[in-house]
Amino acid sequence: MSRQNEQKRVTVPAIKARKGNDPIVSLTAYSANSARIADPYCDFLLVGDSVGMVVHGFETTLPVTVDMMILHGQAVMRGSKHALVVVDMPFGSYEKSPEQAFSNASRILSETGCGAVKIEGGAEMAKTVHFLARRGIPVMGHVGLMPQSVNNFGGFKTQGLHQSDWPRIEGDASAIAEAGAFAIVLEGVVEPLAAKITRDLFIPTIGIGASNQCDGQILVMEDMLGFGAFVPKFVRRYGNLEEQMAEAIKHYASDVKTRSFPAEKETYSKPEE
C-alpha cells in the first residue's frame, strides 16, 4: 500500500480544533479487538487506568503500573488505525516531579507509539503539564472526580454539588489548560459547572458524568456494552453483552457435555488410504 493510501490517525491538533464544533466521540479500550471494533467510530481511544478494575479485577486504579499501561497501549495501537490513542499515566508515575513524569511519559509514547498521555490533577499538576508540553509530549488533563485520588474524596463522589467548591474546580481546569493541555476530561461534575468550565476554557472538555454541555463524551466501553451489575448514573447501556456471553458459554458447555460439539463439520477427517 502506498503512503498516499494509508489511513491517517486523528491528531492532537485536530482534537484541539474541535472546540465548540462537532462533539468529540471517545471510549476506553484495553485490547486489540476492542480497539479494532471501536476505531471507526471514535475520535480518540483512551487506554485508561480503569483497566485495573475492568480487566484485572482491582477495587481501584491505584495498583496499575506503567508496564501494564504500556502492554495495553501496545495492544490498542495494533488494533486501531484511525483514532488518536491516549494512554493514562498511572498513580505514582508522575506526581513526584516533572522529571519523573517526563521519564515515564516518554517511555509510554516511545514503547506504544500512542499520540498523547493523560494526567489527573489540577493546579498542583500545572507545572508538570507545562514541563511535558514544552518538551513535545501532548497531555490531556483530568479534573473533577479523579479516581487516583479516591481516598482523598472518600469514594467516587459527584463534584460541584456545593457552589462553594466551584472556584477550586474551575481553577484546576483553567490551570491545566493554561499549562498547555490540549483537552481536559471533566468527570463526575454537575451540569451547570461543567457547562461553565466548557464555556470558559479555550480547549475541548470531554465529559464523563458531566452532562452533554461538554465538547465531547467518553465512557468505559464495558459499562456501555452491559458488563457488570453496577450501572453508574451517567452510563447509558447500549447493549447487554454480559448476558449474551453467558448464554453462549452455557450453550457451549451443554454441547460439550452431550458430545454434540465438536460435530463432524468441526472435526478433521481421517486421512484417505
Q: Any known ligand binding at 50?
A: yes
Question: Exposed (0-12), middle (13-18) or buried (19+): which is 32, by Cβ within 10 Å?
Answer: middle
Answer yes or no: 272 catalytic: no
Cis status, amide bond into 262, omega within 30 of 0: yes
Catalytically annotated residue among 178, 187, 222, 273? 187
In terms of DSSP H, where are the helices of 98-206?
98-112, 126-133, 150-153, 166-179, 191-200
* Surface-to-core class of residue 256, CB atoms within 10 Å of its CB (0-12 exposed, 13-18 middle, 19+ buried): exposed
Q: Is 88 annotated as a binding residue?
A: yes
Phi-psi region of 213 (alpha: psi -120 to 50; beta: other; left: phi over 0): alpha
16 appears as a binding residue in the annotation: no
Burial class (CB in 10 A: 0-12, 13-18, 19+), 108: buried
Say if residue 187 is exposed, middle or buried (CB neighbours under 10 Å; 0-12, 13-18, 19+): buried
The verdict on whether residue 49 carries a ligand-binding annotation is yes
Binding residues: 49-50, 88, 118, 120
Positions marked active-site: 187
Binding residues for 3-methyl-2-oxobutanoate: 49-50, 88, 118
